[in-house]
Amino acid sequence: MTRSPPLALIGLEALLASLLAGTAAAQPPAPLPQPAVAPSPSPPPPVAADDGLDGLGDLGLEQALPAEDEALTIYGFADVTYMMYFLHDDAAAAALFPKENRFAVGNLNLYARRALSDSWRLLAEVRFLYAPNGATHDDGTIDQTSTNDPADFDRPLNWGGIEIERVYIEYDVHPRVTIQVGSFLTPYGIWNVDHGSPAIIGTSRPYAIGEALFPERQTGLHAYGTLNVGEYTVGYHATLSNGRGPYETFRDLDQNKAVGGRLTLEAPWAGTLKLGASAYGGRFTDRDSDISVIEDGKLVNTTPKGVSYDERAFAADALWTHGRFHLQTEIITRHIAYRNGARGVSGFGEGFAPDSFTYGTYGLGAYRFERYWNITPFIMVDYYRPIASQYLDTIATVAAGLNFRPLPSVVLKAMYGEGWFPGAPDLLADVHLRTMVFQVACIF
Amino acid sequence: MRRPIRIGPLLVGLLLSIAVAVEPIGPRAAEAEPATKKRLVVIVGRDSPVTDLSRIELNRMFTGSVVYVAKLRLVPFNFPPASRERTSFDGTMLGMSPAEVGRFWMDRKIRGQSGAPRSLPAAYVVKLVARLPGAIGYVAEDQLTPAVRAIRVGGLAYTDATYPLFLQ
Q: What is the pLDDT of residue A66?
A: 55
Q: Which of A47, A50, A53, A325 has the highest number of chain B CBs within 10 A, making it the mutation to test binding with B?
A: A53
> A210-240, pLDDT tens digit by residue?
999 999 999 999 999 999 998 999 999 999 9
Do A408 and B56 count as a contact with CB atoms less than 8 A apart?
Answer: no
Question: What is the number of alpha carbons within 13 Å of residue A395 lying toward its C-beta?
Answer: 23
Q: What percent of chain A has pLDDT over 90?
A: 63
Rounded distance between C-alpha atoms, residue B60 and residue B50, angstroms: 16
Q: Is A29 on the interface with B (CB under 8 A)?
A: yes
Cα nearest neighbour of A442 on chain B? B106
Please tell me which residue, A41 or A16, carries the higher pLDDT value.
Answer: A16
Phi, psi at A375, each rounded to 5°:
-55, 135
Chain B: nearest CA to A337, how far in angstroms?
Answer: 33
What are the b/e assignments for B43-56, b being 16+ CB within 10 Å?
Answer: bbbeebebeebebb
The DSSP bridge pattern shows strands B52-53 and B72-73 to be unpaired
Q: Please name every residue paired with A317 in a beta bridge, in sequence order, or none if there are none.
A: A276, A330
Q: What percent of chain B has pLDDT over 90?
A: 60
Chain B: nearest CA to A401, how far in angstroms?
Answer: 6
Q: In chain A, what residues touch B22 (CB-CB under 8 Å)?
A: 371-372
Q: What is the pLDDT of residue B9?
A: 60
Which A residues in the span 327-356 are in contact with B, Cβ-Cβ below 8 Å?
A: none
Average pLDDT over residues A68-97: 82
The DSSP bridge pattern shows strands A120-128 and A102-115 to be antiparallel
- Tell me the longest C-alpha to C-alpha distance in chain B: 82
> A277-334, pLDDT tens digit by residue?
999 999 999 988 888 899 888 999 888 888 999 999 999 999 999 989 999 999 999 9
DSSP A59: G
Torsion angle of the four alpha carbons A123, A128, A131, A134, in this order, in degrees rounded to the nearest 10: -150
Residue A328's nearest CA partner among A374, A373, A361, A375 is A361
Q: What is the pLDDT of residue A40?
A: 38
Q: In chain A, what residues touch B12 (CB-CB under 8 Å)?
A: 377, 400-402, 414, 416
Whether B138 and B85 have beta carbons less than 8 Å apart is answered as yes
Do A371 and B19 count as a contact with CB atoms less than 8 A apart?
Answer: yes
Q: What is the pLDDT of residue A30?
A: 36
Q: Is A86 on the interface with B (CB under 8 A)?
A: yes
Whether A383 and A399 have beta carbons less than 8 Å apart is answered as no
Q: In chain B, what residues touch A434 (CB-CB under 8 Å)?
A: 4, 6, 8
Q: Which one of B23, B99, B132 has the shortest CB-CB distance to A408?
A: B99
CA A41 to chain centre: 43
Rounded distance between C-alpha atoms, residue A422 and residue A432, angstroms: 10
Rounded distance between C-alpha atoms, residue A374 and residue A444, angstroms: 19
Sheet with B75-78, side-by-side order of all strands? B118-119, B75-78, B135-140, B40-45, B148-150
Rounded distance between C-alpha atoms, residue A332 and residue A310, angstroms: 17
Residue A105's nearest CA partner among A443, A439, A385, A444 is A439
Q: What is the DSSP track for A252-292?
A: -TT---EEEEEEEEEE-SSSEEEEEEEEEEEEEEE-PPPEE
Do A400 and B4 count as a contact with CB atoms less than 8 A apart?
Answer: no
Q: Which one of A20, A52, A87 has the shortest CB-CB distance to B123?
A: A52
Do B64 and A268 count as a contact with CB atoms less than 8 A apart?
Answer: no
Please tell me which residue, A440 or A342, carries the higher pLDDT value.
Answer: A440
Q: Quote ipTM for the complex.
A: 0.80
B26: three-class secondary structure by DSSP? coil
- First-to-last CA distance in chain A? 38
Q: Which of B25, B54, B67, B110 has the highest number of chain A CBs within 10 A, making it the mutation to test binding with A?
A: B110
pTM passes above 0.95: no
Q: In chain A, what residues touch B9 (CB-CB under 8 Å)?
A: 400, 416
Whether B73 and B89 have beta carbons less than 8 Å apart is answered as no
Please tell me which residue, B143 or B30, carries the higher pLDDT value.
Answer: B143
Q: In chain A, what residues touch B24 (CB-CB under 8 Å)?
A: 370-371
Instruction: Identify the helix (H) or strand (E) that includes residue B16.
Output: helix B7-22
Chain B: nearest CA to A146, how far in angstroms?
Answer: 32
Whether B163 and B39 have beta carbons less than 8 Å apart is answered as yes
* Residue A8: pLDDT over 60: no
